[in-house]
Chains A and B, each alone.
Chain A
């Protein structure tokens, strides 16, 4: 009965109720949507790291992390893998060889981490194969060619595999991209000249560009003039298990680009059996076993289990491997909490305000109700229920709208084009796919109800204090 009355009361003053509902709706929508955007950005960043760099869990020899020696490898890899693969939470497993060595081209030698992989298997655990820089080849496309390697963009630059050249084609592309004619003319001076590295190219550009011109067009010119040789040749030299220098010739099959220079500049992927025979490591050994789970939230549990299953090995969950990622996600949760709390506080206030007006306006009516004997408690509950209705209706509307918008944008993504560099520098893509868990909606609903209840307390008390006699006399 109370409920029905409360509901009817809400709609007695349509305008006012609509205003409150609308403001709650807007507040909730804005809050939930903002959280969705932030969540989406962070999830994506995390996903990228899981996808491309570390997956969820890694296992290695106890001394491997401090001592990158070949001998610190895992034995009986196959049976360990089988055991892990049998676990329900595990989606896929792969193993890798790690050899520290040098990559050499005619001009440069750089220290690298050579990773021996099974290209096919890797695809189930890592998504790195998708990050191919277009036009640079492919991911181990030709099964016949053993000597193919998959290297990072930054490494390609450091080895001077990526060069810079102004050609007619490049000049045309720049023109289409809007490079002013006088700058075009200046850089055309260098047509046909090949620059082996960024430094010499930039130096040449600076001789024909002013500082401002460089600031504005420098990057565009740099990126358009990038060129490289397909299947470029380089050698990898390293030490085998008997401490003898060895190595081989390899060719760049494809270049990956994941906007993480540290990773890109040091990881070279080659076929595992090629490396294995060169370093003379026996079969059934590996340096890392890498696990991808069906659900990333199972990481802690699975890691604990594996730690006890394989006490002689080191088992690391992603949080231990990349603690700064963990830091970021934790921070984010704290920020969400604060943010929603603040919004709800602001809304709560609005509701208090409204309910107060409601109460004080209906002094006469409430007075009458009390005079005819309506239980005080019932009055209190009625006010409270009205308040909850207001907030809940508004909340529902808000959440519905935000859910719809998030659904739409999560499919198509939002493009933060102008802030692209900032996002990418942090490892975020500037194209964000907002996302919200059902759990979050649930929490928000609960919070809204709580807000509705709390905000009605003061007005309800006020209602109770009304003197019926006094009330009847008011206008």
Chain B
């Protein structure tokens, strides 16, 4: 009897660990897709939706690795010319109206970038989906007409993340993050992120619309639309400088 049980366990164990490995692997692959690029250039549109009003910003975005990013706002007219520079964990902003360069303290960003639902945590902790969680494959589900892995990610004890756990849907064919649900420690849903409108850009299939929906606020939503994106563009480190922040067009 024991022998049978042992054999059974020996058979199951590798499958289980394989499954866990798979889940982590899947997430890593999906993450690498977004963040593994050496550099990128994109033109995006962000719409902030609130119960009483709506605002749309258009901007150009350059990134290099995880350390450098430069954003230039191109519309609406009032905000055109404002630019933001990220170098490591420091951020600067250039505002043409007052022609001044200001170093932004991290606390400024916790309110949501430019008034959106995109928070500080997002901006600085994106890569943690791989390292800070224990991943578990929890079935499959169709999102936007595509079959996805459903992966439950439980935050590790000592991980510097605020979420209790996340559920992510990753497309089986192309390893795209199609949907994410972020939960607090008590298991209450706090935020939902949706990827929509898959298109091929610069030779890749990516979701071109990202919706961030906070759970507790009625009628609040932020929608980011990628209009154009190029990967692995040639860009020097000194492009991401304070001088360039003023000059970039």
Judge A-B direct contact (beta carbons within 8 Å): yes
CA distance A249 to B183 in the complex (A): 16
Cβ contacts under 8 Å, A239 to chain B: 89, 106
Chain A interface: which of B11-19, B184-192, B196-204? B184-192
Q: Does B107 contact A (CB under 8 A)?
A: yes
Give A107 to B189 CA distance when docked, in angstroms.
10
Contact A232 B185 (CB under 8 A): yes
Stretch at the interface among B28-36, B37-45, B161-169, B232-240: B161-169
B residues within 8 A CB of A200?
216
Kindly identify which residue among A232, A237, A238, A249 contacts B158, using a CB–CB cutoff of 8 Å.
A249
Report whether B184 and A106 are in contact in the complex, using a CB–CB cutoff of 8 Å.
Answer: yes
Could you tell me if A104 and B121 are in contact, using CB atoms closer than 8 angstroms? yes
Interface residues in B124-144 by Cβ distance below 8 A to A read 124
| Contact residues, A89-123 vs B (CB, 8 A) | 102, 104-107, 109, 111
Contact residue among A106, A147, A244 (Cβ-Cβ distance under 8 Å from B162): A106
CB <8 Å contact, B106 and A245: yes
Query: In which size bucket is the chain A interface?
Result: 20 to 34
Q: Which residues of B contact A106 (CB under 8 A)?
A: 162-164, 182-185, 190
- Residue B120 CB within 8 A of the other chain: yes
B116 CB-CB contact with A under 8 Å: no
A147 to B156, CA, bound (A): 14
Cβ-defined contact, A194 with B188, below 8 A: yes
Using Cβ atoms and an 8 Å threshold, which residues of chain A touch B158? Answer: 147, 249
What is the CA–CA distance of A248 and B163 in the complex, to the nearest angstrom? Answer: 13
* Chain B CB within 8 A of A136 CB: no
Q: Does A234 belong to the interface (CB within 8 Å)?
A: yes
Q: Is B119 engaged at the interface, CB distance under 8 Å to the other chain? A: yes
Assess whether B90 is interfacial by the CB under 8 Å rule.
yes
Contacts of B111 in A (CB 8 A): 109
- Contacts A106-B182, A107-B190 given; indicate if A233 touches B110 (C-beta within 8 A): no
Inter-chain contact B190/A245, CB cutoff 8 Å: no
Contact (Cβ within 8 A) B110 A104: yes
**CB-defined contacts of A237 to chain B, threshold 8 Å:** 106, 120, 124
Q: Is A235 in contact with chain B by the CB < 8 A criterion? A: yes
Q: A196 in the interface, Cβ–Cβ < 8 Å?
A: yes
Q: Are B184 and A111 in contact (CB under 8 A)?
A: no
Q: Does B90 contact A234, Cβ atoms closer than 8 Å?
A: no
A109, B159: Cα distance in complex, Å: 17
Provide the bound-state CA to CA distance between A105 and B160, in Å. Answer: 11
Q: B159 and A249: CB pair below 8 A?
A: yes
- Whether B161 and A235, one on each chain, are in contact in the complex, defined by CB atoms closer than 8 angstroms, is yes
Does B88 touch A at the CB level, under 8 Å? yes
Q: In the bound complex, what is the Cα–Cα distance between A196 and B188 (angstroms)?
A: 10
A473 contacts B by Cβ under 8 Å: no
Alpha-carbon gap, A237 to B185, bound state (A):
19
Interface residues of A in 58-74 (CB under 8 A from B): none
**Residues of the B chain whose Cβ atoms lie less than 8 Å from the Cβ of A246:** 89
When the two chains form their complex, are residues B88 and A229 in contact, meaning their CB atoms are under 8 A apart? Answer: no
Chain B contacts of A85 at CB under 8 A? none
Q: Which residue of A lies closest to B215 (CB)?
A: A107
Q: Measured between C-beta atoms, what is the minimum distance from B166 to chain A in Å?
A: 11
Please give, as numbers and ranges, the residues of chain B lying within 8 Å of A196 by CB-CB distance. 188, 216
Chain A positions near chain B (C-beta within 8 angstroms): 102, 104-107, 109, 111, 147, 194, 196, 200, 229, 232-235, 237-239, 243-249
Starting from the known contacts A109-B121, A232-B185, 8 additional A-B residue pairs (CB-CB under 8 Å) come to: A102-B110, A104-B162, A233-B155, A238-B106, A245-B88, A245-B106, A245-B124, A249-B160
B interface with A by C-beta (< 8 Å): 88-90, 106-107, 110-111, 119-121, 124, 155, 158-164, 182-186, 188, 190, 216
**A-B pairs with beta carbons under 8 Å apart, 6 shown:** A104-B110, A107-B216, A196-B216, A229-B186, A233-B164, A245-B89
* The 6 residue pairs across chains A and B that have the minimum distance between CB atoms: A245-B89, A109-B110, A106-B184, A249-B160, A106-B190, A106-B162
